[in-house]
Structures are given as C-alpha cells and as structure tokens.
Chain A
Amino acid sequence: AQTVTQSQPEMSVQEAETVTLSCTYDTSESDYYLFWYKQPPSRQMILVIRQEAYKQQNATENRFSVNFQKAAKSFSLKISDSQLGDAAMYFCAYTRPIYNQGGKLIFGQGTELSVKP
C-alpha cells in the first residue's frame, strides 16, 4: 500500500525568508503523481504544485518549487520569499494515474506553517 509521511508537524518562517517542507512516500509504482496542497483556516483545499513522476524536472510555480528525488522517494516543497498569506496547513499527497485506479489521493499528516512578520 502507498503511504505518505510528513515528519514536520509544525514549521515557522520569517516573512521574506525561505522554508522547506519535507515529504516522503512509499510506493511500488513507477508512474504516479505527487501534489502539495494548502489548507488555510477556511479549510479550502488549494493546489500549490503538482509533479508527474515520469518528469525529471522539478516543478515550479512562482515562489513555490519542489525537490523531487524519485529514487529516495522524497518530495519537498520550497517556499521562497514567504508571505503572511502562506500561513496554512500544507499537505503532501500521492495518487496513481487514472489508467491505474488513480484519482484517489493519499495524504500526509500535514505541516502547519506559520509566518512571522
């Protein structure tokens, strides 16, 4: 069975600084997708970034980038120039491709990020 582990329950960063959130996963599949979701106090699920396992290039979205290490099964999220609005719970998630019973997401435990002004 696939599992996703986030070992940092809480992280803190100074505004304008950089922070990295860790995520490891376990799977026997070679093709899959990884995601980082942000959940603010409103509890909306907001997609931050997505990575296809077959792509070697790390995904980036503005201030957000990932370090995807497939062999190590590691998928960390780097937030640059942190802003107060980045404060939220962040979830790492895994899913198989649609053609392989995909769609359902397996989430990590979450990391609560606080941003200090």
Chain B
Amino acid sequence: GAVVSQHPSWVICKSGTSVKIECRSLDFQATTMFWYRQFPKQSLMLMATSNEGSKATYEQGVEKDKFLINHASLTLSTLTVTSAHPEDSSFYICSPRGPNQPQHFGDGTRLSIL
C-alpha cells in the first residue's frame, strides 16, 4: 500500500489565495522532507529541504516567504503557497525520507491558479 499520502491531488483557486498542501508519511518517520516542483514538460526541481523541528532550507531562487514549509512532526509536513499567482501554477511533489528508508514520493499536487 501507499506509504506517502499527499493532499490535495488537484486544486484550482483564484489569484491571491493561499493554498496548503499536506504530505504524510504513513508507516515511517520522515526525519527529512524534500519538496519538488515540476512545470509542464520539465523535470523535477528541488524547492526546499526540511528536517523535523527545524526551519527549511530553500534552494536558490525559491522565495521562502512565498513557499512556507512546516515540518513540525515526523509524519506530517505542509507546504503553503501564499498569495498564489498564475506563475505558481505547477505540480508539487513531496518526498519524505526516514532512517534506513528508500526515497519515497507523494503522488503530487496539481496547482492551478486562475
């Protein structure tokens, strides 16, 4: 069965809205969470890395005030896209990692900003 649950799978909202994406590791403790973004017909690009209980580390060019990451527990991490605009429309994928665990991926969230 699935070991990672990512919700919602698809969200459409108006420009200026904030959107929260949840990622849960179902049967292991995710000490580290990676968030990736994938634009249409492109590759996955790492946005940020977070360790449980610590602030996230953002990749160059990713606005930390726009993409808020919370990793307060070993089974849940959230990505909030604040004041989303059409250029934030993309596919967002979480990837939790735990000790002695292979790399897992969520099924992704398709975000469409009108």
Contact = CB atoms under 8 A, between A and B. Distances in A.
Interface of A: 35, 42-45, 47, 50, 91, 95, 103-110
B72 interface: no
A105 B95 contact: yes
Given A44-B107, A44-B108, A45-B93, A103 B43 contact: no
B75 interface: no
A47 B46 CA distance: 17
Q: Which of B36, B44, B49, B97 has the most CB of A within 10 A?
A: B44
A19 to B, nearest CB: 20
A108 B43 CA distance: 7
Chief secondary structure at chain A's binding surface = loop
Interface of B: 32, 34, 36, 38, 42-46, 49, 91, 93, 95, 97, 102-103, 105, 107-108, 110
Contacts of A104: 34, 46, 49
A91 B93 CA distance: 15
A44 B105 contact: yes
A107 B43 contact: yes
Given A105-B44, A109-B42, 8 more contacts: A43-B38, A43-B91, A43-B107, A45-B105, A91-B43, A105-B34, A108-B43, A110-B42
